[in-house]
Amino acid sequence: MLAERDPHVDATRLLAELVPPPRFGAVRFATYVPDQAQPSQARAVRALEEFAAGIGGPAPGSARRKWFRVREPERPSIPGGVYLDGGYGVGKTHLLASLWHAAEAPPEQKAFGTFVELTNLVGALGFRPAVDALSSHRLVCIDEFELDDPGDTVLVSTLLTRLAAAGVRLAATSNTLPGKLGEGRFAAADFMREIQGLSARFTSLRIDGDDYRHRGLPQAPDPYTDAQVTAAAARTPGAALDDFGPLAAHLAAVHPSRYGALVDGVAAVFLRGVRPVTDQAAALRLVVLADRLYDREVPVMASGVRFDQLFSAEMLSGGYRKKYFRAVSRLTSLARDSSRFA
């Protein structure tokens, strides 16, 4: 049961795990198939290939270097930071991981982690040691970049400023343009200087398109019965069988940065009694769990409501809506993967 696990992750492991997760361990630019109807996808690949080629050369200059400039769309030229903006399911994480793999630097000089993992690293090490640890890197890739509270805004702004001054190349993905980060979630106007400072450190590459996970596929699969889920878990090696309510409650006692460790060694997750979530904090924790399960390619077999009914209409229209849509997309994909256990 996941609800009985209480993983503890030390700082050494946090640093060692700053690499692309298993789902993206073998991806490359060549394995990304641009949608011919969306020219921005092919442009993004070309721009990132150029960016990767520059990482093996001389380090960027001082913090006074101009980080943002307007580029011609057909002939991209990227300075020290690149920001992949687009809807969920257009392959942003695939491209970010491909950039990490393509960058001509030893693995120990490249870091790849989610925004949550990055902020937790700072919390575990302390700000100055985290800056020292990451300043020796040639490239830092940040997936799922979001600013959900003012403290994170100031923290990340300062961290990226220090890394940029050290010559570290930066890359990030998000569903939100850099100038819009934090909008709808806190009083962004009060922290506009920090938000604009973050935006100035990146060249934005817009990636348009539909969610590739569900292109031409039916809606979320119907849930199983409790008895079917229980029986399937009993015959599956490495299964984790949980009731949805207790698991959701347990997540509140585990820091989101440890959700990856929470599913270590789990071959499949079996959930009984999935029901709509009404509390926003609980919903956001489920978003992080969905991301870690998806990263690690862990199928999810469930009873209760379909995953496209997990979040309320109010949540799906609020400030965190893109996170919730991403979670629904990924959980639906994992639910389809679980059909082999039926």
pLDDT tens for 141-151 read 998 877 665 66
66 has pLDDT over 80:
no
What Å distances lie between residue 141 and 109, 133, 276, CA to CA? 11, 14, 33
Mean pLDDT confidence for 193-214: 71
Listed by start position, the domains of the chain span 11-210, 213-341
Mean pLDDT confidence for 48-61: 73
Instruction: With beta carbons less than 8 A apart as the criterion, state whether 146 and 174 touch.
Output: yes
Residue 82 identity: V
- The pLDDT score that the predictor gives to residue 196 is 61
What is the Cα–Cα distance from 231 to 250, expressed in whole angstroms? 23
- The pLDDT score that the predictor gives to residue 175 is 61
What is the Cα–Cα distance from 342 to 338, expressed in whole angstroms? 7
- The pLDDT score that the predictor gives to residue 206 is 86
- CA 334 to centroid of chain Cα atoms: 16
For every residue of 123-185, DSSP letters joined together read HHH-HHHHHHHHHT-SEEEEES----SHHHHHHHHHHHHHHHHTT-EEEEEESS-GGGTTTTT
17 has pLDDT over 50:
yes
What is the Cα–Cα distance from 92 to 112, expressed in whole angstroms? 13
Which CATH number does 11-210 carry? 3.40.50.300
Residue 292 identity: R
Under DSSP, is residue 134 helix (H, G, I), strand (E, B) or coil? helix
- The pLDDT score that the predictor gives to residue 85 is 83
Q: Which residues pair with 113 in a beta bridge?
A: 142
List the one residue out of 293, 237, 286, 241 whose CA is nearest residue 263. 293
- The pLDDT score that the predictor gives to residue 193 is 56
pLDDT one-digit tens code per residue, 237-264: 999 999 999 999 999 999 888 899 999 9
pLDDT one-digit tens code per residue, 97-129: 999 999 989 999 999 998 888 888 888 889 999
* Residue 83 pLDDT grade (very low, low, confident, very high; cuts 50, 70, 90): confident
* Residue 187 pLDDT grade (very low, low, confident, very high; cuts 50, 70, 90): very low
Q: At what angle do helices 321-337 and 280-295 cross, to 10 degrees?
A: 50
20-24, 196-200, 315-319, 331-335: least confidently modelled range:
196-200
What Å distances lie between residue 108 and 17, 179, 184, 317, CA to CA? 11, 31, 37, 41
* Residue 300 pLDDT grade (very low, low, confident, very high; cuts 50, 70, 90): very high
- The pLDDT score that the predictor gives to residue 185 is 39
- The pLDDT score that the predictor gives to residue 149 is 59
191 has pLDDT over 70:
no
Mean pLDDT confidence for 149-171: 82
CB crowding 251-279: b at 16 or more within 10 Å, else e = beebbbbbbbbbbeebebbbbbbbeebee
pTM over 0.85: no
211 has pLDDT over 70:
no
85-94, 184-193, 320-329: least confidently modelled range:
184-193
Place of tokens 């938000």: 195
63 has pLDDT over 70:
no
